[in-house]
Structure 1
Amino acid sequence: MTMITTELIDSVCENLEENLPITKTLPEEGILHIDKLLPYICVYRYKKKDRYFSGLLKTQGSYLIVKDTVDISNLLTCLSSAIASKLNACLILEMWPVRKDHKADFEISCPKGKAPATVAAFEEGINELRVLYPEVSVTVSDTHKRHPERLEPLMNVDSSKETGNLIIGLAVPTIYERPEEHHVYSIFYRKFTTQLSAIIKRAVYEFIRVQTSNPFDHYLMLGKTHLDRLTLEADAALAEISEGMSFLLRTTPVNSSQEWVKFKENDFTKTPSFNYRLIALDPEKEKRKLFGIQIDKVDDPTISFILRDKRLEIEKQLTMLEERETDSFRFIGESLYGSIEEKVIKGADAILKTYPSGKDPDNIVKFDCHEFAEHAQKEIDFYQEKFPHLKLSLEIRKDVAGIMVSESTLLISTELSMDSARCDALIQHEVATHILTYCNGKSQPIKQMYTGFSGYDQLQEGLAVLAEYLVDGLTVNRLRLLAGRVLAANAMVGGATFIETFELLRRTHNFPEKTAYYVTMRIFRGGGLTKDAVYLAGLMQVMDYLKDGGKLETLYTGKFNTNHVALIEELLHRKVLKQPQLPRFLERDIAKERLKKLRHGISITELINK
């Protein structure tokens, strides 16, 4: 047997005593990793290292992977004693791969009566794996033999009792591979790894809930807190490509104002001809960089999922830039932003039936770009103090339509003319939502938090429109505009032309000519972009989320979609992410009152005060 030096053991235990993260290389290519003081450690002793089985353990915050010819008894005794001295007990989970006659049977080895809640959590979780693999089964053996047959016990059972340790054996069927075919089912493996990782943490949580001095309020807090170099590098590489695309800027016309004048002069009979910024990158080269990123080496299943999902979105956006001004642009965009759900179309119809025409306030006062900028600057200055390490700014430019945000910069069109009563609502939409979530995301260790998860637009826009409602700035015209975008996008997907869509808005739904034009322009830009339908879809999604008891605060952590909320909450529990700065408008009495209404549940048409 190869021995581990006393110096290395002492070093490990000193780090553990001071609650420092540990990553140590052991003899014969072994590795010990302990993210923080945790009440358990997963152990895998191999004859020949299986990188896929090793990957199952590497999803945990505490693991020991080592060749079976290395004596780890002294190391384990030191580790488990140090853990037990601080937390009263320590669970040692030895895991090993099995595949008998192609069966899918998990085997749990644990003496009867010892930690029944832990064993029950393992059984329940493993049975849930049948959703992935129906043949999965689990047996529990009441035995003192908790290790592979070919190996000796990790520790003497009696001495482990004295130090407050419990050893459980878990034989895991390698159903993700066919060794005789030298084949691994990669997609299934990723799902299997993610689910097994959660099963282990839930079972460990049951152990510590009963047996230890428990500093953990949730099983997710057992996950990794520290991100390794490979994870950070993959995240940074994705962010660099995403930021370099400037996708929306490159798919938005630079001559929309000039074309409006021509369109009107031609009595709305000639389809506008839009010009776009030159694409200063090579999508093919960017794709080569994209798929050179080593996401397969990211051990954390949650972050690995986020990065893979984002990579797929970036690939589609790069292809869309290549296909700009073609039909393919639209088709790829539909797969990117998803189809328009029937309930969203019904919601848009309900809005336009309830409010069949716009409503202009009496004695309307207009703000031009400079007046709006003056008010917006005050809000930007407030958040600048909250994020002194970032540069927040605004620009008045000729090449943008209306108002938009690019990272931490508010872009305002020189042609802007708006109802002064809408000023505050639009500032909360753009600055206190889009810029704030960018700044919150920029303050996190994961760059995707500010560049945006896959499909983040829907929640971002829904949250931004929600801000308008909470500050009492959501008007009939604004809600009608969101509904009009949905119906325009649906018409375009159904084969309507630019002019047919424009006339649908102008004649059927009574939109002003210029409004109908700009809605149609946004829908048909680049060759057809259904993104604008996500504003209403996102608003309805956030309303459902709040009615179901969702935490509004979580949504400001960065840029993601509602299907990512569980992942964000996991990363917050694990302290990978920091709690976000919240918009100051939430302190207003009217915002608090309206938030209560939303939690009780109201319909989309009830957002307007009648």
Structure 2
Amino acid sequence: MKSAEPEALVERLRAGEGVDVALPGGGRLHLDRPLPFLCVYRRPAGERWPDTEALLTSLAAWLIAPAGVALQDLLCALAEAHQESFGGWLLLEIWNEPPPGAGAPPTFRLGAPERGVPAALLEAFEAALMKVSIHRKRPVVRVDYGARIAPPGLEPLLSTEQAARLGITHLGLGVTPAYRDPETGETYTFAHRAYRQRFNRALKQAFHAFAHCCTNHRPAHYHELGPRAITPRAREVDAELARLSDGFDLLLHVTPVNGEAAWRAFEAGGFEQEVEFLYRPRTIDPAAMKRELWNLPLEEIEDPALAD
């Protein structure tokens, strides 16, 4: 799907299809299928944090764009299309809060309007975020009512009037990057992987609560709100894994060719002497194959369940 024109995207959504399009400035909109929510991340000018973007790309509906790109027309069109299908739509913007100090717990700041958001939704969201621990530290979650729903230095994605007119529930979520070294800015790979999985689960639980509170969509479980489509990158990695697997027969390589003779020798020695096993000549270079395996870009697979 190459066209990012709002009208073309709406047509696909009304047909029940997914959307994956490039946006100006290196952005991207990915909708696995029509869903009653969208997560947005605006890249700060002159900065790019792949670890933050990865928190969104493991979800089923997300938009990433540079901070200077106008998104109002696109978001309004998406809101109208989803409003028709679900009777409600959640627009959740995510941004980085200032990095925490060394050893600080992860912190979340959930911004919500003073009115119009069911308390049950915010309570469910807060409870889900409380499970996103890292380094065995429980998170700190703060809910700000009436807060300006936008990253520092940026205008809100939509005005309060626009959100009300379109029936949008507009929330913001500031996230402290507790998965980074506070001094160097480097990402702790394993901590980020665990954080991403827990954060992904928390958001899906919040989306599940929103669907039941504010829409006509009734998913039986929050897992139903995750990605279903296999991305092209996942297919490429899967094909490479299959090629490596087909390159040798593991059972043939680990099965001795002199099994019977070795047993007779072992028996003749009173079961006390070691015997020599002979194996087929190697048809592969294990070091080269291991290098190919480790070079597969598993970190580029957007669904963390598939990446692991």
1:41 aligns with 2:38: yes
Output the CA distance in 2 between the equivalents of 1:44 and 1:188.
21
Output the CA distance in 2 between the equivalents of 1:264 and 1:57.
62
4+ residue stretches of structure 1 with deviation over 4 A? none
Output the CA distance in 2 between the equivalents of 1:18 and 1:272.
68
Output the CA distance in 1 between the equivalents of 2:49 and 2:272.
67
Structure with the largest fraction of helix: 1
Could you tell me whether the CA contact under 8 Å between 1:23 and 1:32 is conserved in 2? Answer: yes
1:221 aligns with 2:224: yes
Q: How many pairs were matched up?
A: 300
The aligned counterpart of 1:556 is none
The aligned counterpart of 1:105 is 107
Among candidates 209, 212, 221, match of residue 209 of structure 1: 212
Superposition pairs of residues 89-488 of structure 1, within 5 angstroms: 89-99=88-98, 102=101, 104-112=106-114, 114-130=117-133, 132-134=135-137, 136-143=139-146, 145-178=148-181, 180-305=183-308
Consecutive unaligned residues of structure 2, counting only runs of 5 or more, are none
| SS at structure 2 position matched to 1:53 | helix
The aligned counterpart of 1:582 is none
Amino acid paired to 1:249: L
Output the CA distance in 2 between the equivalents of 1:133 and 1:96.
23
Q: CA deviation at 1:97?
A: 0.6
CA offsets, 1:266-303, max 9 Å, x none? Answer: 44444333221221100111122112111121121111
The aligned counterpart of 2:73 is 74
Among candidates 24, 27, 31, match of residue 24 of structure 2: 27
- State the identity as a percent: 28
Q: CA deviation at 1:7?
A: 6.8
Output the CA distance in 2 between the equivalents of 1:144 and 1:87.
27
Amino acid paired to 1:65: I
CA offsets, 1:98-123, max 9 Å, x none? Answer: 12553642100113561323222221
CA offsets, 1:209-264, max 9 Å, x none? Answer: 12112152211111111111211112222232234342232112122223333444
TM-score normalised to the size of structure 2? Answer: 0.90
Output the CA distance in 2 between the equivalents of 1:245 and 1:126.
45
Could you tell me whether the CA contact under 8 Å between 2:97 and 2:174 is conserved in 1? Answer: yes
Output the CA distance in 2 between the equivalents of 1:269 and 1:206.
66
Could you tell me whether the CA contact under 8 Å between 1:49 and 1:67 is conserved in 2? Answer: no
| SS at structure 2 position matched to 1:198 | helix
TM-score normalised to the size of structure 1? Answer: 0.47
CA offsets, 1:143-163, max 9 Å, x none? Answer: 152112311121122332232
Amino acid paired to 2:229: H
Output the CA distance in 2 between the equivalents of 1:209 and 1:215.
6
| SS at structure 1 position matched to 2:307 | helix
Output the CA distance in 1 between the equivalents of 2:202 and 2:22.
27
Q: Which has the higher contact order (CA 8 A, sep 6+)?
A: 2
Output the CA distance in 2 between the equivalents of 1:142 and 1:148.
15
CA offsets, 1:417-462, max 9 Å, x none? Answer: xxxxxxxxxxxxxxxxxxxxxxxxxxxxxxxxxxxxxxxxxxxxxx
The aligned counterpart of 1:521 is none
Q: CA RMSD in A?
A: 2.1
| SS at structure 2 position matched to 1:24 | strand
The aligned counterpart of 1:478 is none
Could you tell me whether the CA contact under 8 Å between 2:30 and 2:63 is conserved in 1? Answer: yes
Consecutive unaligned residues of structure 1, counting only runs of 5 or more, are 1-5, 306-610
Q: CA deviation at 1:179?
A: 5.6
Output the CA distance in 2 between the equivalents of 1:44 and 1:20.
23
Amino acid paired to 1:105: T
The aligned counterpart of 2:85 is 86
